[in-house]
């Protein structure tokens, strides 16, 4: 500058010094494009303001950048003629490009080069969850550990994760992951590697497990010896087992199956087919689920059911419209699964023709009477009476010969008591029991009822049971439904 004539200095100051040129920019001296080839970026020219803004990537060396430009007129920087694509300049601070026309007019541009933001180092997995079934994951950003607990029983071999990340890509075993799409096997821990824009990476360890099970059901229960199946009332959680008469209940082994983790009785672990228990009183079998929750089943084992067919009026003078069967509880009786079965002895083998289920009646206390009868039969107030559907009609019970009444235990699958009257019936078939049954206790049946005399067939003395129908039952003229014979 020192060597420039004064008038040129004045001209320069007047025409080309930003920010506000005194003279308007020359239309004949214009910079119309400005870019760098390396790095390849375009500048933004503001003709009004006389500025060029160029952003280069972070890390770019701006001290020797070569501009590629188009201009009308000649272009100089600090008096040095510029050749597009050849002349390098130091853009550490704004550089003045001056375009000059042959008419002496000129336009000055301030070229500012700024560096872009450095590439991000962000590489966090900010959320992680499973779909189908849905389960949220817990992400620990300090340890880079992710834990997901799936519902019990979930197959971990092919699960799809949905995740969010601040990185630019995520891989598992070098496989690019797409949130909500990529399937992975989570039976083992998986490393999710998140890459940041700056090339750095971070591995998150994803551990997936399943919730402990809540199942806790005794699905079958019976005795090993004598072999007998129990009946599970799942709603009441009562299991009834009826062993044969005379079975010693003090040490029996149960055979059972259960869901859940384990089964215990009085705190003692039970092994099906192995562990013996004293069943003389009801026992609580406690089933514990994997999650620690428990349910308890009360197991009631009985040896024989103390229920007798005590009296029957199967035939009346004239129309049979007041028939009845009287049952007597010689001890406490749980009627669950017990039925009165009526058997026709007129065919061979004898065949069931009617059945009255008694299970819904609950229990009978020792000494109680239960009368199955139609509306014409009255019983004492302390006796129980049940009228099966259809028993308001006459002729519900066959008169013989060789017909039988049987009290059958469908749980223990055996006869509790049976009486054949007016003959014998050693072969009979009833529903739900494949083998033929002997419907007569002893070698001869109870006597026949009469259709000319009022009376019934009853145990005499009352509740006598020697196991012989002909010895235990007599024809009695007194009708005593619901009371002692």
Q: From the CB of 315, what's the least distance to Ca ion, in Å? A: 5
3-state secondary structure 61-103: CCCCEEEEEEEECEEEECCEECCCCCCEECCCCCEEEEEECCC
460 contacts Ca ion (rule: CB under 5 A): no
Q: Rounded to whole angstroms, how far apart are CA atoms 18 and 100?
A: 16
208 contacts Ca ion (rule: CB under 5 A): no
480 contacts Ca ion (rule: CB under 5 A): yes
Interactions with Ca ion, residue window 437-456 (CB under 5 A): 449
Cβ-based burial of 349 (10 A; exposed 0-12, middle 13-18, buried ≥19): middle
Q: Which of 135, 320, 423, 469 binds Ca ion (CB under 5 A)?
A: 320
Question: Which segments within 234-292 are labelled E, that is strand?
Answer: 238-243, 252-258, 262-265, 268-269, 276-277, 283-288
Site string for Ca ion, 361-400 (x = CB under 5 A): ------------------------------------x-x-
Nearer to Ca ion, 320 or 472 (CB): 320
The span of 26-34, 66-74, 403-411, 475-483 binding Ca ion (CB under 5 A) equals: 475-483
Q: Rounded to whole angstroms, how far apart are CA atoms 144 and 177?
A: 17
Nearer to Ca ion, 111 or 377 (CB): 377
The span of 248-256, 296-304, 420-428, 474-482 binding Ca ion (CB under 5 A) equals: 474-482
Nearer to Ca ion, 54 or 397 (CB): 397
Site string for Ca ion, 272-311 (x = CB under 5 A): ---------------------------------------x
Contacts for 284 with CB less than 8 Å, ≥ 6 apart: 265, 266, 296, 297, 298, 299
Q: From the CB of 457, what's the least distance to Ca ion, in Å? A: 7
Range 181-185 contact pairs with CB under 8 angstroms and sequence separation of 24 or more: 183/158, 183/159, 184/158, 184/159, 184/160, 185/156, 185/157, 185/158, 185/159
- Strand 428-429 relative to strand 350-357, pairing: parallel
485 contacts Ca ion (rule: CB under 5 A): yes
Q: Rounded to whole angstroms, how far apart are CA atoms 445 and 439?
A: 9
The span of 185-193, 296-304, 313-321, 433-441 binding Ca ion (CB under 5 A) equals: 313-321
Nearer to Ca ion, 25 or 374 (CB): 374
- Strand 169-172 relative to strand 190-195, pairing: antiparallel
Nearer to Ca ion, 50 or 400 (CB): 400
313 contacts Ca ion (rule: CB under 5 A): yes
The span of 250-258, 288-296, 322-330, 467-475 binding Ca ion (CB under 5 A) equals: 322-330
Q: From the CB of 324, what's the least distance to Ca ion, in Å? A: 9
Prior bond to 436 cis, omega within 30? Answer: no
Please, how many CA atoms are within 13 Å of residue 157, restricted to the half-sphere of its CB?
A: 1
314 contacts Ca ion (rule: CB under 5 A): yes
Nearer to Ca ion, 313 or 417 (CB): 313
The footprint of Ca ion (CB under 5 A) covers: 311, 313-315, 320, 326, 397, 399, 449, 480, 485
């Amino acid at each position: 500058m020192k060597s420039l004539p004064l008038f040129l200095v004045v001209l320069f100051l007047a025409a080309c010094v930003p920010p506000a040129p005194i003279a308007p920019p020359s239309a004949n001296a214009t910079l119309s494009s400005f870019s760098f080839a390396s790095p390849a970026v375009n500048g933004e020219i503001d003709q009004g303001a006389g500025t060029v803004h160029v952003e280069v990537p972070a890390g770019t060396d701006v001290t020797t950048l070569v501009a590629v430009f188009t201009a009308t007129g000649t272009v100089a920087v600090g008096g040095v003629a510029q050749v597009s694509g050849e002349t390098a300049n130091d853009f550490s601070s704004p550089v003045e490009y001056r375009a000059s026309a042959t008419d002496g007019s000129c336009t000055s541009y301030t070229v500012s080069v700024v560096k872009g933001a450095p590439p991000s180092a962000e590489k966090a997995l900010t959320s992680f969850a499973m779909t189908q079934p849905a389960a949220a994951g817990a992400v620990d950003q300090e340890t880079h550990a992710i834990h997901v607990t799936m519902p019990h029983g979930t197959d971990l071999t092919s699960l799809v994760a949905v995740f969010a990340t601040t990185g630019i890509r995520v891989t598992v075993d070098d496989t690019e992951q797409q949130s909500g799409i990529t399937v992975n096997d989570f039976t083992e821990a998986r490393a999710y590697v998140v890459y940041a824009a700056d090339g750095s990476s971070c591995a998150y360890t994803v551990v997936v497990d399943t919730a402990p099970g809540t199942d806790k059901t005794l699905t079958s229960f019976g005795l090993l010896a004598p072999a007998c199946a129990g009946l599970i009332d799942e709603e009441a959680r009562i299991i009834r087992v009826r062993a044969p008469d005379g079975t010693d209940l003090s040490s029996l082994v149960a055979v059972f199956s259960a869901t859940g983790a384990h089964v215990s009785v009085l705190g003692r672990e039970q092994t099906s087919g192995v562990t013996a228990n004293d069943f003389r009183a009801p026992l609580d079998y406690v089933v514990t689920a994997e999650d620690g929750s428990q349910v308890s089943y009360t197991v009631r084992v009985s040896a024989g059911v103390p229920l007798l067919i005590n009296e029957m009026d199967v035939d009346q003078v004239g129309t049979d419209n007041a028939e009845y069967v009287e049952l007597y509880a010689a001890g406490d009786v749980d009627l669950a699964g017990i039925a009165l079965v009526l058997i026709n002895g007129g065919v061979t083998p004898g065949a069931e023709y009617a059945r009255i289920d008694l299970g819904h009646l609950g229990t009978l206390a020792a000494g109680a009477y239960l009368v199955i009868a139609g509306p014409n039969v009255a019983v004492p107030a302390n006796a129980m009476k049940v009228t099966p559907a259809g028993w308001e009609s006459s002729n519900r019970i066959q008169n013989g010969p060789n017909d039988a009444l049987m009290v059958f235990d469908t749980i223990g699958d055996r006869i509790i008591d049976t009486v054949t009257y007016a003959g014998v019936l050693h072969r009979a078939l009833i529903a739900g029991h494949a083998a033929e049954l002997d419907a007569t206790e002893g070698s001869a049946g109870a006597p026949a009822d009469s259709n000319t005399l009022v009376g019934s067939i009853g145990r005499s003395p009352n509740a006598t049971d020697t196991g012989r129908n002909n010895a235990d039952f007599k024809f009695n003229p007194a009708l005593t439904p619901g009371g002692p014979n």
